[in-house]
Amino acid sequence: MPTAQIAHLQFTQADTQSKIAKELFLPSLKKAEINIKLHNNILYFCHCLTRIKLQVAMKQLFGQYIKNLRTEKGFTLTQLGAKLGVDSANLSKIENSKRDFDEKKLKILSEIFELNLEDLKTEFFGEYFAKKIYETNCSTDVLAVAEEKVKYYRENNVKQGKLKL
């Protein structure tokens, strides 16, 4: 057999093997890629939905938000209080804005209701600072000053201490 025919035959065999490999493995690879993309899109959608739900819900006070979460999940004051390590009377006061929620319990709250902790912190501290500004009749300019101070702390790697307002 001449060399050109052997080379053509080998090329044809390699081409056939390549086609077979593509037919066998490409669909499964594409399916895997599609599944990964779909999974990532679903996760992103759920994250966005959670943020939207939190933003809509947080048009109310933090205590009322906790009450709504509790009633949606069907927990009694006693049940949720036990999970948070708070008695039912104090939880009722928190829900009715007569007592402040303990920031140390935000992580537990986020776990109980499967909420994003950073979003929950943002809402909690946003309300906390807004309440302090309102109670002391401060200008909202204090927020811009606080933002600059946070930047300073982060840039200078200052050890964070407890903030007393």
CB 120 within 8 A of CB 106: yes
Q: How confident is the model at residue 9 (pLDDT cuts 50, 70, 90)?
A: very low
- CB neighbours of 50 closer than 8 A, spacing ≥ 6? 115, 116, 119
Look up residue 132 and give its two tokens: 């302090």
Q: What does the pLDDT average to over 22-27?
A: 57
The whole-angstrom separation of Cα 33 and Cα 128 is 45
Length of the chain equals 165
The whole-angstrom separation of Cα 78 and Cα 11 is 76
Indicate yes or no: pTM above 0.85. no
Higher per-residue confidence, 4 vs 35: 35
Read off the pLDDT of residues 86-113 as tens digits, 9 standing for 90 and up: 999 999 999 999 999 999 999 999 999 9
Question: How many C-beta neighbours within 10 Å does residue 96 have?
Answer: 12
- CB neighbours of 100 closer than 8 A, spacing ≥ 6? 94, 128
Q: What does the pLDDT average to over 141-165?
A: 78
How many helical (H) and strand (E) elements, i.e. helices and strands, does the chain have?
7, 0
Question: For residue 109, which of 60, 62, 143 has the smallest C-alpha distance?
Answer: 62
What pLDDT, on a 0 to 100 scale, did the predictor assign at position 156?
A: 84
Give the HSE-up count for residue 16: Cα atoms under 13 Å, Cβ half-sphere. Answer: 6
Q: What does the pLDDT average to over 133-154?
A: 91
Read off the pLDDT of residues 35-78 as tens digits, 9 standing for 90 and up: 677 666 676 665 555 555 555 545 689 999 999 999 999 999 99
